[in-house]
Amino acid sequence: MSAFFDLIEPYGRYWPYGVATLAGALLAVVDRRVFGRYVLAWLLVLIAIGGAIGMNVSLFTFQGGDHYFQSLIAMLFALAGLAGYALATFATCACGRRCGGKAS
């Protein structure tokens, strides 16, 4: 069992991005079934833009008086969610569902 953990140890820091990507894919499914439009995708875009603005507006200090790192994390997770959203949307189109035509 320890050999397994030694094998996956270098990749352990990437699991939050994988979770955000899977959450984005689930948002794409919910978005298409519930709303029928790209409502949640626009929400992810707004979060990413807000994170970028927060990074540029905030001063870089380590005293906790800024929101630089919070904005960075929000932007990165929103972009990872958008990547999952885009992958799920393209996979849906490749399978022939909701893109106007059937896959051959």
CA–CA distance, 78 with 21 (Å, rounded to integer):
9
* pLDDT in the model for residue 58: 73
Residue 104: its pLDDT value, please?
47
For the chain, residues with pLDDT lower than 50 are 101-104
CB within 8 Å of 23: residues ≥ 6 apart: 81, 84
Residue 68 parent element (H or E): helix 68-94
Closest listed residue to residue 70, CA positions, set 49, 51, 57, 56: 51
pLDDT at residue number 62: 60
Supply the pLDDT for residue 97: 61
Residue with the two structure tokens 């001063």: 59
